[in-house]
Amino acid sequence: MSEVVTYNREGAIGVITVNYPPVNALGHAVRSGLVAALEQGQNDADAKALLLVCEGRTFIAGADIREFGKPMQEPGLTSVIDQYENSDKPIVAAIHGTALGGGLETALGCHYRVALSSAKVGLPEVKLGLLPGAGGTQRLPRLTGARKALEMITSGEFVNAKDALGLGIVDAVEDGSDIKAVGLAYAQKVADEGKPVRRVRDVTDKVEAEKGGEVFDQFRAGLEKKARGLFSPFKCVDAVEAAFNLPFDEGMKRERELFMECMDSPQRGGLIHSFFAEREVSKVKGLSKDTPVRDVNSVGIIGAGTMGGGIAMNFANVGIPVTIVEVKQDALDKGLGIIRKNYENSAKKGRITQQQVEERMALISGSLTYDDFRDVDLVIEAVFENMAIKKEIFGKLDEVCKPGAILASNTSTLDIDEIASATKRPEDVVGMHFFSPANVMKLLENVRGSETSDEVKATVMAVAKKIKKVGVLVGNCHGFVGNRMLHKRGAEAMALVNEGASPQQVDKVLTDLGYPMGQFAMSDLAGIDVGYRIREERRNAGEDVAPSWMDKLVEMNRLGQKTQAGVYKYEEGSRKPIPDPEVDQLIAEFRKEQGITPREISDQEILERCMYVMINEGAKILEEGIADRSLDIDVVWIYGYGFPAYRGGPMFWADQVGLDTILNTVRNFHDTLGGQQWKPAALLEKLVSENKKFGDL
Ligand code: 3H9
């Protein structure tokens, strides 16, 4: 008998218990243990019914993802579930925590399901580039009907126990926390009432009723928009459709074929890398797990602009009171008004209730004085990018804030050490770089200064988790990880347009790769006056900053989406960028002024220049220790800039392209185009010479 699955009898109930922390994933030991325990239960003449229950925080949370890509060891999950379903003693699955993927599929192979009211169920395989491959696509629709099964399987979203009861996925829901007691009581009832084995495979009313319906094509059409570029959601629909068109065993075969297609797709590799990378980033190199974490029960924010307001919402959303300080009352009122409007909009869309709007607003107060920061545990400065102003602010904070308060800057580029130097407590100063819109984007780039204490680093990482962000700890340099790479891509995109590409051609190459928007559409979203102001400041300071056609746009008051015209034009109320011949004309004139003869530029060149310049910079970032691991860079790009998770992040993508290919092209660009950005990173050269990848570091 395997140690991770045990069998024992309690009265008339044979209890099969899985105990495989952390999430009872269906690794080989669990699968073989389940088979052995079932056999014991079958042979136990005194067991009238069997109960499948899990120890720890959750029911089985799925197949063991770490086994994917390795040779499969028998018994396979499908065979395990078949044996459970074919048992002639009724089996009850008792669900607590999350029954996910193969876990829910196992429960669906049992004859009855009872869940705690706090439990959730789901088939999230699609988020890993897969489809439920152990009968989920065949059994779930037999219980829920086509539409709900399609929704659950193509979105991967979880369903709470109450809804699962309504959908027929579980048979009973009980309050409480003792899942074993709940399961035993239910199994006893099954035994006492002599309830029969009830196999989901034999439930046919829904599949018969919806055979040949239009729902599948409707669903595919909807996915064209929602799942752009993705492979597995469409395979999920094919698999569910098979449940309606084929007998159960044939449907299972079809599901397997489609599952294997997903397994072989590169998107599966990218998404699974993203899954683990998201979890790995919380384990910061050199920071012990036991590092004490300070309590953060109140927060101060400086600046009620778009950023400050968005940051405040994150804290109010999780019940932490926030004080926002502004210089002028009208700016404060405006900022608080926008926050309310954002919440009201969420309420209108049904995402939160009106009561929650009021509760959250009640947690946010405004002030015109730093004195109100006296007792807060964390202050986040979110004013515009100006070092002198930031230093003045931090000097004041140092005077006002209590000892132990964390002083953070939301700067997206500036030197954290210089900001910290304005205080007498640089160990309490740190960067907390939120991404716009700050209440939506999941990334929090936490920036350690050279003197930031371990306690402060650990605390800001814990804060990220608390406010449901993915925190990545990075080092201090201009632009940190994300913007440092973005600036290189931006400069290359500009150069490509100067040389002959159109903004829409550059953007299309990037969106075809899977970015939600291209470089120029993104500039329009952020406002192209931001870059203009920085260039002007540098010019005024005597720096030699090359002229740009973007400057001309700003001078024409084409500032981006906010003026309905920037690099693109926009229709009233729409965010869809429309190419504008006026801008093409302006670019053509600019080239003439600069003496540039435009040339035809291939999409491949755009891809290589925009992406490889980032990879080369990413390698320098790793070399300098600004990012600890290539997966930190991947997570920054997936959650901060919408890099497609199915490509695993830019550094993972680079490993798939081949570092030797990238290095050769970088060398070539260095020779032909020149510039520091194309000087090959020493790390890239080293990895290629050792035949290694970023993932091997
Ligand atoms: C599947 O089932 C395919 C089948 O249809 C067909 C097969 C033939 N495997 O997220 P957390 C680890 S596909 C291995 O921080 P939480 C995780 O890496 C699978 N490991 O906790 C982490 O490790 P570490 C379908 C797994 O409480 C630790 O557990 N199922 C797995 O925030 C804690 O995780 C899914 O896609 C796994 N399946 O959330 C479910 N799951 O401590 C994926 C987790 O070393 N999992 N780990 O960093 C989740 O959604 C969340 O982990 C869960 C817990 C909600 C369960």
pLDDT tens across 557-573, in order?
Answer: 999 998 999 999 999 98
Sheet with strand 98-100: strands edge to edge: 98-100, 120-122, 159-160
Buried b (16+ CB within 10 A) or exposed e, 235-271: bbbbbbbbbbebebeebbebbbebbebbbebebbbbb
Q: Is it true that the peptide bond before 22 is cis, omega within 30 degrees of 0?
A: yes
Number of the ligand 1 atom closest to the C-alpha atom of 123: 25
Q: pLDDT-derived band of residue 168, with 50, 70 and 90 as boundaries?
A: very high
φ, ψ of residue 533 in degrees (nearest 5): -60, -40
What value does the mean pLDDT take over residues 41-52?
A: 97
Residue nearest to atom 15 of ligand 1 (CA): 279
Residue nearest to atom 18 of ligand 1 (CA): 276
CA of 62 to the centre of ligand 1 (A): 7
133 CB near ligand 1 (under 6 Å): yes
Q: For 5-20, write each residue's pLDDT tens digit.
A: 999 999 999 999 999 9
φ, ψ of residue 587 in degrees (nearest 5): -65, -40
283 CB near ligand 1 (under 6 Å): no
Least confident stretch, 410-424, 457-471, 534-548: 534-548
278 is catalytic: no
Q: pLDDT-derived band of residue 507, with 50, 70 and 90 as boundaries?
A: very high
CA of 24 to the centre of ligand 1 (A): 9
Q: Could you give the percent of the chain with pLDDT greater than 70? A: 100
What value does the mean pLDDT take over residues 590-598?
A: 95
**Of residues 10, 55, 67, 105, which has the active-site annotation?**
105
CA of 64 to the centre of ligand 1 (A): 8
Asked if residues 199 and 233 have their Cβ atoms less than 8 Å apart, the reply is no
CA distance linking residue 454 with residue 98, whole number of Å: 34
Give the Å distances, CA to CA, from 68 to 60, 64, 269, 518, 657: 17, 7, 9, 33, 21
Q: Could you give the percent of the chain with pLDDT greater than 90? A: 91
617 CB near ligand 1 (under 6 Å): no
CA of 588 to the centre of ligand 1 (A): 53
> What SS3 class is residue 302?
strand
Name the H helices within 265-297. 266-280
> What SS3 class is residue 592?
helix
Crossing angle of helices 232-245 and 146-155, in 10° steps, is 160
> What SS3 class is residue 52?
strand
pLDDT of residue 628: 95
Whether the per-residue pLDDT at 383 is higher than 70: the answer is yes
pLDDT of residue 2: 52
300 CB near ligand 1 (under 6 Å): no
pLDDT of residue 1: 47
Residue nearest to atom 48 of ligand 1 (CA): 279
What value does the mean pLDDT take over residues 690-696?
A: 96
What one-letter code names the amino acid at 513?
Answer: L
CA of 618 to the centre of ligand 1 (A): 29
CA angle centred on 450, ends 445 and 455, rounded to 5°: 70
Whether the per-residue pLDDT at 477 is higher than 70: the answer is yes
Q: For 59-73, write each residue's pLDDT tens digit.
A: 999 999 999 888 889
23 CB near ligand 1 (under 6 Å): yes
* Mutation test residue for ligand 1: of 65, 125, 130, the one with most atoms within 8 Å of CB: 65
Asked if residues 147 and 105 have their Cβ atoms less than 8 Å apart, the reply is no
pLDDT of residue 573: 86
Q: For 356-375, write each residue's pLDDT tens digit.
A: 999 999 999 999 999 999 99
105 is catalytic: yes
**Of residues 85, 125, 255, 617, which has the active-site annotation?**
125
The mean of the pLDDT values for the chain is 95
Name the H helices within 541-580. 549-555
CA of 193 to the centre of ligand 1 (A): 37
* Mutation test residue for ligand 1: of 4, 18, 23, 126, the one with most atoms within 8 Å of CB: 23
Specify the DSSP element, H or E, that contains 434: strand 429-434
Q: For 394-444, write each residue's pLDDT tens digit.
A: 999 999 999 999 999 999 889 999 999 999 999 999 999 999 889 999 999
CA distance linking residue 140 with residue 239, whole number of Å: 11
pLDDT of residue 70: 85
156 CB near ligand 1 (under 6 Å): no
Whether the per-residue pLDDT at 534 is higher than 90: the answer is no
What value does the mean pLDDT take over residues 598-621?
A: 98
